Amino acid sequence: MDEELIGIKNTALSLILESEDLESLEETKLQFLGRNGKLTLALKKITEVPVDERKEFGILANEVKQAIEEAIQSQSNKLSKRKLTRVIEKIDVTNPGIKPALGHLHLVTQAIEEITAVFAKIGFERVRYPEIEWDWYAFTALNFPQNHPARDEWETFFIDTPPDPEKGKMVLTPHTSSGQIREMEKSKPPIRMLNIAKCYRRQSDISHTPMFHQFEGLVIDQNISITHLKGTLDYFAKSYFGPKRISRIRPYHFQFTEPSFEVDVTCGVCLGKGCKLCKDGWLEMGGAGMVHPNVLIAGGIDPKQYSGFAFGWGVERVLMMKEGMQIDDLRLLYSNDLRFLKQF
């Protein structure tokens, strides 16, 4: 019996030392320590050992088992190390690395940066005001009488909180014009503000998303007139859309400007002649006007001393109007679909 154990130990140890890779080492391990392994079977024979020799047999058996296990462990360490060295030797340090995929800014962010840069050249300072706003800033201070139906045109989301006794209900700001009063509260004329922010309205179809962006210009100084507004609009049309584009203003109505206008830009395809895309040569861009005296008063500015103009347009809208841009469904902009976003 004892000789059998010693024999098993010797063959096992020499096989272990001879194994050249982890797979054959694993095989040897099974061959001896597995359920039907040689050592396992030999140990089962303990029942055949005379009772008074069993203790000694047990001790020897344990020693053999331990010796085999230790040998396997140390051989396994040796082989793993060898494998690692081989892998390292295979690394060619002169091989150019794999570049990590680079993302880019969302196309609306790109448009915001471009618009900011265009207006920065003529002295407009980019600002940001709250998206969750009081009715006062979004409507009342902008010359909307309480409960005036014109409020409905902005399809506003109201926040379900108790109203402020002075500033009224809280709303998700439906236009960047709320920044006009905030700006007047913060700075004294001359003011040249560009407020770009998210706006929210209850609307969702191929040309509307419930969240969109507007950029709002506000200029207040002495002797500001419509000619300054028109010059600024033409400057923007040429800088953003291209040197051949011009703007026009049409009479319109807003509570917070007087007179009020809608601004059009010549179509990029026919340059104003009229074509299938635009019909009459002009594309509608958004609203503008001379700041209403009541708005100046609400902002703490004396309308006898100062006058100003304001305009507010959709970022997504001007982006789509830019030459070569045709997005069939505006909601795609916010669908986070990389197949779409990667194109820009």
Q: State the minimum distance, in angstroms, from the CB of residue 267 to ligand PHE.
A: 21
Please identify which residue in the block is written with the tokens 């902002």: 299
Which of these ranges, 71-79, 110-118, 181-189, 306-314, lies near ligand PHE under the rule CB under 6 A? 306-314
User: At 243, phi and psi to the nearest 5?
Assistant: -60, -20
270 phi-psi bin (left φ>0, alpha ψ -120 to 50, beta other): alpha
DSSP state string for 27-89: HHHHHHHSTT-HHHHHHHGGGGS-GGGHHHHHHHHHHHHHHHHHHHHHHHHHHHHHHHHHHHH
**Count of residues interacting with ligand PHE (CB under 6 A):** 12
User: At 139, phi and psi to the nearest 5?
Assistant: -135, -65
CB 327 within 8 A of CB 333: yes
Which of these ranges, 31-39, 83-91, 308-316, 319-327, lies near ligand PHE under the rule CB under 6 A? 308-316
User: At 220, phi and psi to the nearest 5?
Assistant: -135, 130
- Which residue, 128, 278, 262, 246, is CA-closest to 193? 128
Nearer to ligand PHE, 38 or 248 (CB): 248
Nearer to ligand PHE, 69 or 234 (CB): 234
Question: With binding defined as CB under 6 A, does residue 156 bind ligand PHE?
Answer: no
Question: With binding defined as CB under 6 A, does residue 287 bind ligand PHE?
Answer: yes
Which of these ranges, 18-26, 229-237, 272-280, 307-315, lies near ligand PHE under the rule CB under 6 A? 307-315
Scanning residues 242 to 281, which ones bind ligand PHE (CB under 6 A)?
A: 254, 257
Nearer to ligand PHE, 19 or 209 (CB): 209
- Which residue, 85, 37, 80, 93, is CA-closest to 61? 37
User: Which residues fall within 8 angstroms of residue 263, CB to CB, at 6 or more apart?
Assistant: 233, 247, 248, 249, 250, 284, 285, 286, 287, 288, 311, 313
Q: Could you count the other beta carbons within 10 Å of the beta carbon of residue 182?
A: 19
Nearer to ligand PHE, 287 or 299 (CB): 287
| Pairing of the two strands 125-127 and 191-200 | parallel
Q: Select the residue interacting with ligand PHE from 312, 315, 316, 318 (CB under 6 A).
A: 312
Q: State the minimum distance, in angstroms, from the CB of residue 175 to ligand PHE.
A: 3
Q: Select the residue interacting with ligand PHE from 28, 143, 177, 232 (CB under 6 A).
A: 177
Q: State the minimum distance, in angstroms, from the CB of residue 305 to ligand PHE.
A: 21
- Which residue, 142, 133, 141, is CA-closest to 255? 142
Q: Select the residue interacting with ligand PHE from 29, 311, 315, 330 (CB under 6 A).
A: 311
Question: With binding defined as CB under 6 A, does residue 289 bind ligand PHE?
Answer: yes
Question: With binding defined as CB under 6 A, does residue 215 bind ligand PHE?
Answer: no
Nearer to ligand PHE, 171 or 288 (CB): 288
CB 220 within 8 A of CB 307: yes
Question: With binding defined as CB under 6 A, does residue 141 bind ligand PHE?
Answer: no
Nearer to ligand PHE, 1 or 108 (CB): 108
Interface with ligand PHE (CB under 6 A): 175, 177, 216, 254, 257, 286-289, 310-312
